[in-house]
């Protein structure tokens, strides 16, 4: 279970993962050793899974982001796994989520422009196995992006 | 636009997997000196490709057992300003992501909650109370994976 001091550390690290132990200590009123011990424990317990770099795909020449909401044909046994395995092979796919609801899978993908998207969609997406239905949503703007958890 | 060589690509992939590794360790793995690794990271940062770092937390372990993706359609377009909706939805702590999309829905939200009962509270009291909100579709997240993308 998280203690208040853990929460305080995680909140600040979420806001700025590059904070040093000394900076965190000053912000939370703990000693440097206490902060280090808590971070070590949170990491060992799997609460902190690590840090990842965030890539701006538009800056890399992929300004187009599309969400594909996919319904699968559930009458085929093993269809789900076959679909996921094939979707992992599409380089433009950034995220794969599975759901309980009206939609089974969401693929989030990036493209260089509409012509490129069209090409990926036709050549790679439509040939994925066991698709019953696809809806595409194009991202117009990110209003709020990837805020941390409300700890 | 910035041109990437194979070493840049390998560096980006390594940083997405673990952004906290020291440049010396990264360089050793890629066969680069520490200063050369630093120069490349600096260049990627200045080009806006490396847009920051994200702390990866186990949402379950910190008490957020439920993540839901919501598709929201505005009921009264024209009468409610998008800015009002966006401001109000961004102020809800459980809402992690807000994307303005083009297609079946107007907005995609990523929402976290402690459990399904807590999600129902957020949905009824906060989301349904937003100005102009119309149709809402909820899909409960079962699994999620991030892919390296086209690098």
Give the domain ranges of chain B. 6-46, 60-140
Locate tokens 């360790």: which residue? B25
Q: Give contacts of A147 with chain B, Cβ < 8 Å.
A: 95-97
Query: Could you read off the pLDDT of B63-117 as tens digits, one per residue?
Result: 999 999 999 999 876 667 888 999 999 999 999 999 999 999 999 999 999 999 9
Kindly determine whether residue A144 and residue B98, on different chains, have CB atoms separated by under 8 Å: yes
Question: Cβ of A50 and B18 within 8 Å?
Answer: yes
Convert the pLDDT of each residue in B21-61 to its tens digit. Answer: 988 999 999 999 999 999 999 999 999 999 999 999 999 99
SS3 state of residue B108: strand
The token pair that represents A121 in the structure block: 């969609």
Quote the CA–CA distance of A14 and B112 in Å, as a whole number.
Answer: 15
Q: Which CATH class is domain B6-46?
A: mainly alpha
Taking the CA of residue A16 and the nearest CA in chain B, the distance in Å comes to 8
Using 50, 70 and 90 to split pLDDT, how confident is the model at B2? confident
Give yes or no for A51 touching B (CB within 8 A).
yes
Q: Give contacts of B25 with chain A, Cβ < 8 Å.
A: none
Asked whether the beta carbons of residue B103 and residue A137 sit closer than 8 angstroms, the reply is yes
Same fold, B6-46 and B60-140: no
In chain B, beta strands by DSSP E: 50-57, 66-74, 95-102, 107-113, 133-146
| DSSP-derived 3-state class of residue B141 | strand
CA distances from A20 to A3, A4, A33, A140 (A): 21, 20, 12, 36
In tens, the pLDDT along A17-58 reads 999 999 999 999 999 999 999 999 999 999 999 999 999 999
B12 vs B54: CA distance, rounded Å: 14
Chain B stretch 38-97, residues whose beta carbon is closer than 8 A to a beta carbon of chain A: 47-59, 61-64, 69, 71, 86, 89-90, 93-97
Are B58 and A47 within 8 A, CB to CB? Answer: yes
Interface of A with B in 53-112 (CB under 8 A): 53-57, 59-62, 67, 69, 88, 91-103, 106, 110
Which residues make Cβ contacts (< 8 Å) with residue B112, sequence separation at least 6? A149, A150, B59, B64, B66, B67, B68, B94, B96
**Residue contact A2–B89, C-beta within 8 A:** no
Minimum distance, in Å, between the CA of residue B87 and any CA atom of chain A:
9
Report residue A66 as tokens. Answer: 């599309």
pTM of this prediction? Answer: 0.92
Q: Give me the interface pTM, i.e. the ipTM.
A: 0.92
B30 exposed, middle or buried (CB, 10 Å; 0-12, 13-18, 19+)? Answer: middle
The helix or strand, by DSSP H or E, that contains position A96, with its residue range, turns out to be: strand A93-100
Contact B18 A52 (CB under 8 A): yes
DSSP states of A102-136 as a string? Answer: S-SEEEEEEESSHHHHHHHIIIIITTSTTEEEEEE
Q: B60-140 adopts what CATH topology?
A: Alpha-Beta Plaits (3.30.70)
């Amino acid at each position: 279970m998280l203690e208040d001091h853990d929460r305080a550390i995680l909140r600040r690290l979420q806001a700025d993962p590059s904070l040093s132990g000394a900076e965190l200590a000053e912000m939370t009123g703990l000693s440097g050793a206490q902060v280090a011990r808590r971070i070590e424990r949170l990491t060992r317990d799997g609460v902190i899974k690590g840090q990842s770099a965030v890539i701006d795909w538009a800056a890399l020449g992929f300004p187009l982001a599309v969400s594909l909401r996919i319904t699968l044909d559930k009458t085929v046994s093993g269809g789900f796994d076959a679909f996921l395995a094939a979707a992992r092979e599409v380089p433009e796919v950034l995220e794969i989520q599975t759901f309980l609801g009206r939609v089974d899978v969401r693929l989030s993908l990036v493209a260089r422009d509409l012509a490129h998207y069209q090409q990926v969609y036709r050549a790679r997406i439509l040939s994925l196995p066991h698709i019953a239905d696809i809806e595409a949503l194009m991202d117009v703007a990110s209003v709020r992006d990837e805020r941390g958890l409300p700890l | 636009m910035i041109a990437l060589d194979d070493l840049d690509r390998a560096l980006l992939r390594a940083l997405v997997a673990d952004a906290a590794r020291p440049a010396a360790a990264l360089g050793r793995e890629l066969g680069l000196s520490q200063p050369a690794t630093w120069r490349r990271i600096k260049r990627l940062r200045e080009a806006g490709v490396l847009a920051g770092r994200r702390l990866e937390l186990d949402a379950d372990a910190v008490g957020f057992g439920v993540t839901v993706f919501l598709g929201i359609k505005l009921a009264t377009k024209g009468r409610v300003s998008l800015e009002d909706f966006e401001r109000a939805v961004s102020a809800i702590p459980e809402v992690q992501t807000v994307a303005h999309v083009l297609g079946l829905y107007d907005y995609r939200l990523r929402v976290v909650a402690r459990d399904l009962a807590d999600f129902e509270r957020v949905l009824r009291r906060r989301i349904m109370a937003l100005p102009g909100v119309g149709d809402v579709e909820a899909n409960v997240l079962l699994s999620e994976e991030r892919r390296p993308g086209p690098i």
